[in-house]
Chain A
């Protein structure tokens, strides 16, 4: 199911290859296999797979990565528009086996 892709050409991910030291941290933290090592620096190979979680930019010691991170959750955006909960949302993958309790449309209720 690695093939699930959301909208094209929207991710705000950017890389400054000249700053990249090739440490490989972003390869480790990215949950969607967006990067690939290309010689001494990484390159973005699958930008459309990026879910803007911000793990890569946060963990890049060289500050080579930029992304406007946030949670892709419509309920949170609506709540934000209505001024509720500051647009917060507990939404996320179920992969630690626990999240189903407060995800999805019900997450902010």
Chain B
């Protein structure tokens, strides 16, 4: 048995029970579940009564989301109180399941849970919620909290073995990076079936006898999914934008040839608009146009978006490229705008669905120094252009 276990673990790879937990995640995790006991609380707001099972009374939920659920979703999307949007881990009944009903596993992030039950309208099932500290399946799988150990423990403590007579559990495919299916089978007797990537395909997957089509297995990154990311990308830049804008305005005022006010109006406001457009390039145009932009590296895509913006701005402002201050000002924006757009575009790798860590590291090795260099050089050039304008 010991021998056998070693070989299926693949020797040096995952050896149970390694817990790959990252307790200090700065991205909305660490929400402690309100209830650490085996049975999820019946007093949670979305529970509609309970169902008697051999494991005791379990909370029952509906596939119909209530106004309160929707309100919670809106609040979460706006970033208010999203840190605590965790539900109790454990076993829930969706509709009126029996001992033959399917078991679906998800994370204890309320939005993941809501989305899952909404897609299962008319289906009676058990939902086994893992404690992922309020983080969605994909993120939690990457961290290992949606993981082998947690699933094994949760199967035991939830009483699942007594509640269902079969030994099959359905996991979201995107949970696979965290869970070793063969170890679940070995330690609990439950066979893991990886369901489709998108919950909306679940009814078809269940109907087909737990068979997913090729399309159901492939992660895509369509326009719709890219668009919903834009507000967050944009909001994330708000604070630096305001701070840098203030600095630019003061600089332009102090270096103004004919007084503070004209400096602000002549150069400061333009600088702020340029910065704003550079940010729009990196946070709005990149998500929108991602598949159509030149280059594979995101920073290269951002660089070209930034160059187009810079050239457009220089043209619109009608910079006098015959004189040195005009030349230098143009150059400064040709350096800064693409650098900023490229940097923000590079940050979008985290939201995309196909960038590998090796790739991101490779991209950053050449892009990050250039981006930082571009901004510094551009800033120096801009300040110089303002100063030499005094001489004229």
Contact = CB atoms under 8 A, between A and B. Distances in A.
A107 B296 CA distance: 22
A72 B28 contact: no
Nearest to B198: A95
Contacts of B197: 31, 93, 95
Contact of B218 (A32, A55, A59): A32
Given A59-B180, A92-B353, A95-B219, A102 B362 contact: no
Interface string B58-86: 00000000000000000011010010000
Interface stretch (B97-105, B137-145, B319-327): B137-145
A42 interface: no
Contacts of A60: 10
A84 B228 CA distance: 27
A101 B232 contact: yes
A17 interface: no
A59 B360 contact: no
A55 B363 CA distance: 23
A105 B237 contact: yes
A37 interface: no
B255 to A, nearest CB: 31
Contacts of A8: 296
Contacts of B29: 90
Contact of B139 (A1, A31, A55, A92): A92
A79 B325 CA distance: 38
Given A59-B181, A96-B138, A103-B229, A85 B24 contact: yes
A10 B220 contact: no
Given A95-B174, A105-B236, A10 B358 contact: yes
Interface in B1-60: 7-11, 13-14, 22, 24-29
A100 B27 CA distance: 12
A108 interface: yes
A69 B177 contact: yes
Given A2-B220, A30-B217, A101-B111, A76 B353 contact: no
A58 B353 CA distance: 19
Contacts of A52: 356-358
Interface string A76-107: 11110000111011111111111111111111
B161 to A, nearest CB: 23
A14 interface: no
Interface stretch (B246-254, B266-274, B344-352): B344-352
A2 B218 contact: yes
A54 B376 CA distance: 38
A101 B77 contact: yes
Contact of A7 (B28, B173, B178, B359): B359
A85 to B, nearest CB: 4
Contacts of A33: 214, 217-218
A50 B13 CA distance: 19
B94 interface: no
Contacts of B357: 52, 68-73, 77
Contact of B22 (A11, A12, A88, A107): A88
A109 interface: yes
A75 B173 contact: no
A82 B174 CA distance: 29
Contacts of B280: none
Contacts of A69: 177, 357
A31 B344 CA distance: 26
A32 B354 contact: yes
Interface of A: 1-8, 10-12, 25, 28-33, 49-55, 57-64, 66, 68-79, 84-86, 88-109
